[in-house]
Amino acid sequence: MLPFARLTIIGLGLIGSSVARGVRAQMPAVRITGHDADPAVRKRAVALGICDDVTDTSGAAVLDADLVILCVPVGAMGAVAAEFAADLPADAIVSDVGSCKQSVAEALSAVLPDAIIIPAHPVAGTEKSGPDAGFSTLFKGRWCILTPPENAPEVAIERLRIFWQQLGADVELMDARHHDMVLAVTSHLPHLIAYTIVGTADDLEGVTQSEVIKYSAGGFRDFTRIAASDPVMWRDVFLSNKDAVLEMLQRFSEDLSALQRAIRYGKGDELESLFARTRNIRRSIVEQGQDDDAPDFGRKH
């Protein structure tokens, strides 16, 4: 039994196009309508054949939808929802895939006060963006976290749970605030660190860019992949999840200062004991089957 019959995807980049491809593969009877603000992306989506229809306006895209998923940068969610609000069917479920949840929930409920809104976050992605970067198995064996508001109808939550399960994801429910705190440390802060370290290396005087590229061994190379992630998407994540990111950044800075002191004063035992602790965390992740290399980071099976 299909949880939805008419899906609308707004934003046809990496995640939107992966949802469309996954639905085509796993729920081929579902009719998919897509919209993107960028005419070049709409044209590409038509050429790729990932939707049944691609509309020029978001209003036209939602007209008879029973599920609308917003796959745009988190800072654009409210504006997009306001754009199609007047055309949204009363019984449609509105969801999203944004990397932080509290600000998105607030933005959506402000402009869609009567709609059924179930925010979601598939914890799956890559450093790439755009409609060509998507693939149908992106969500397979990954977590998808739903953060329904307290008044969300149980049946709507269940339908969305089944939808993501059909795309191969393992679904978990979480409070939006807690989600934002957890993801601040597991995803947002690591991206900030990657952006910083690649920038630091790039700014170094006396070390040429070609040397940085030539001698980028394992550690730095991994950071450059993350630091290649979409600038607009990540600008929005940091501005939208400001409180949780600043809290984690504060803790991180304190821990970094402690390491700095340990190095300065030659406290080898302190360094070694931290490194032994972190090695054990990696081992636990590997034991739980989450050891795949990027871009499979976070895959559960």
Ligand X SMILES: NC(=O)C1=CN([C@@H]2O[C@H](COP(=O)(O)OP(=O)(O)OC[C@H]3O[C@@H](n4cnc5c(N)ncnc54)[C@H](O)[C@@H]3O)[C@@H](O)[C@H]2O)C=CC1
Per CB under 6 A, the list member of 17, 18, 33, 99 interacting with ligand ENO is: 99
Smallest distance, Å, CB 275 to ligand X?
A: 29
Residue 12 interaction partner, one of ligand X, ligand ENO, none, beta carbon < 5-8 Å per kind: ligand X
What does the DSSP 8-state code read for residue 292? P
Q: Which does 148 bind (CB under 5 to 8 A by kind): ligand ENO, ligand X, none?
A: none
Q: Which candidate, 199, 183, 205, places its Cα nearest to that of 298? A: 183
Question: CA nearest 239: which of 73, 128, 69, 110?
Answer: 73
- The CB-of-3 to ligand ENO minimum distance in angstroms stands at 23
Helix axis angle, 242-264 to 231-240, nearest 10°: 100
Of 157, 170, 295, 299, the one binding ligand ENO by CB under 6 A? 295
What is the 3-state secondary structure of 168-207?
CCEEEECCHHHHHHHHHHHHHHHHHHHHHHHHHHHHCCCC
Stretch that binds ligand ENO, among 62-70, 118-126, 241-249, 267-275 (CB under 6 A): 118-126
- Is 125 among the residues that bind ligand ENO (CB under 6 A)? yes
Q: Which parts of this chain interact with ligand X (CB under 6 A)?
A: 10-16, 36-38, 41, 71-74, 76, 79-80, 97-99, 122, 125-126, 129-130, 230, 233, 237
Query: Which among 235, 258, 255 has a CA at the least distance from the CA of 188?
Result: 235
Strand order in the sheet with 170-173: 120-122, 143-146, 170-173
197's contact among ligand X, ligand ENO, none, with CB below 5 to 8 A by partner kind, is: none
Tell me how crowded residue 141 is: count the other CB atoms within 10 A of its CB. Answer: 17
- Which of ligand ENO, ligand X, none binds 141 (CB below 5-8 Å, type-dependent)? none
Binding segment for ligand ENO (CB under 6 A), chosen from 53-61, 160-168, 205-213, 293-301, is: 293-301
Q: Which of 27, 51, 123, 144 binds ligand ENO (CB under 6 A)?
A: 123
3-state DSSP helix/strand/coil percent for the chain, to nearest 5?
55, 10, 35
Query: Does the footprint of ligand ENO cover residue 127 (CB under 6 A)?
Result: yes
- For ligand X, give the closer residue by CB, 125 or 201: 125
d(CA 233, CA 237) in angstroms, rounded, equals: 6
In angstroms, the CA 234 to CA 129 distance is: 12
Q: Does the footprint of ligand ENO cover residue 297 (CB under 6 A)?
A: yes
Residues of this chain that bind ligand ENO (CB under 6 A): 99, 123-127, 187, 226, 294-295, 297
